[in-house]
Amino acid sequence: MVRAAGLEPVLLSMMDSALVVDGLRKRYGDTMAVDGVSFEVAAGEIFGIIGANGSGKTTTVECVQALRQADAGSVRVFGIDPQTDRASLRSVVGSQLQESELPNRLRVWEALDLFASISPTSADWRELLADWGLAEKKDAAFASLSGGQRQRLLVALALVNSPRLVFLDEMTTGLDPAARRVAWDLIDQIRLGGTTVVLVTHFMDEAERLCDRIAVFRQGRIIAAGSPQGLVDAHAGDATVHFSTDEADLSWLANSQGVERIDRAGSRVTVHGSGPLLAHTAATLVAHGIAPLDLRTERKTLEDAFLALTARQGGTTA
């Protein structure tokens, strides 16, 4: 797996930006669907957007593409203002919309051929057909495709104009586990080809696997942003280390680096803390002549960070 070096937000303005969003707002009646969202995506980056249902992810990416009219805020896609220069925008952007279908009786190859004909920069759609596992379904009507096959066709359509920036809104929803992994590899390849990707997803493993940086949405705002590991470190909560011992007095363990709390239930011990807790705990235990066979840590994941972030009330803007 190739991943660009961790891009810190500070460095971004010095680099080529694929996308700059500043103060984006969109209201539907009483709902502030998007409430002052700002972020920047560097060229060549895979930028993830995660957040609960209705947190404004789709509204944001569709406003950015001028498929919806934002109430306020500015957007630049490779320097292009989507509101005033749609034609230039469309020629650099590919888009897989969360909700869209094709005519029922349209065949797979016809769809690719048609969408390829719109843009002069189009890739060879036969390759996309093979890449996205649709070669066998070439002549199948859209209505006869399974959910995952439709999804793959729609992603292939998003890529058919060889975009410099592609928006994928829940790309792998409905895909089987094998197809998801194939999709991940394809996204890696697309990025290697120089395409910037904005990926909206509900799958934390997908975001962790693919994204260089992630923005976490809650109620129309970005409440946290950073690299997957950065988000885990900052928000996934305490690290924990587990082991068993018959030693009665463990009070000395509290002085070990990073340890915040020790829970005991019979011989089973759970150490809560922060930082490289496993390494420090192990060193301290060994120094006291204890070498438990079952010493282990629980790896915190993006999912832990996500749950912690989205459960919190009144989050702060990153």
Partner 1 sequence: MKALRKLTWIELKLFTRDPLSLVFTLALPFFFLIVLNGVFGNEVETDPAEDVWRGVGPADYYVPAYLGLVMSAIGVLSMPTRLASYRERGVLRRFRASAMPLWAVLGSQIAIALLTAVVGAVSITIASTLIYGTDLQPADSLAFVPAFALAALSFGALGVLLGSVMPTSRSAQGAGIMLFFVMFLLSGSGPPREVLTGPMKALGNLLPLTHVITLLQDPWLGFGWNTGASIIVASILVGSVALSIRYFRWE
Residues that bind ligand ATP in the complex, under the rule CB under 6 A:
28, 31, 33, 51, 53-59, 98
- Tell me how far, at minimum, the Cβ of 292 lies from partner 1, in Å: 57
* 48 bridge partner residues: 199, 214
Quick one: what does residue 91 bind among ligand ATP, Mg ion, partner 1, none, with the CB cut-off 5 to 8 Å set by partner type? partner 1
Q: Where are the beta strands (DSSP E) in the chain?
A: 17-28, 31-42, 46-51, 72-77, 93-96, 165-169, 196-200, 213-218, 221-226, 239-244, 259-265, 268-273, 296-297
- Tell me how far, at minimum, the Cβ of 66 lies from partner 1, in Å: 10
How far is it, in rounded angstroms, from Cα 232 to Cα 223?
Answer: 14
Quick one: what does residue 119 bind among partner 1, ligand ATP, Mg ion, none, with the CB cut-off 5 to 8 Å set by partner type? partner 1
| Residue from 17, 55, 58, 227 in contact with Mg ion (CB under 5 A) | 58
**Does position 60 bind Mg ion by CB under 5 A?**
no
Which span (92-100, 126-134, 198-206, 285-293) binds partner 1, by CB under 8 A? 92-100
Considering the complex, state which of residue 31 and residue 98 has its C-beta at the smaller distance from Mg ion: 98
* 42 bridge partner residues: 17
Residue 1's contacts (CB-CB under 8 Å, 6 or more residues apart) are 188, 209
The binding track of 74-113 with respect to Mg ion, each residue x by CB under 5 A or -, is ------------------------x---------------
- Inter-residue contact 97 to 154 (CB < 8 Å): yes
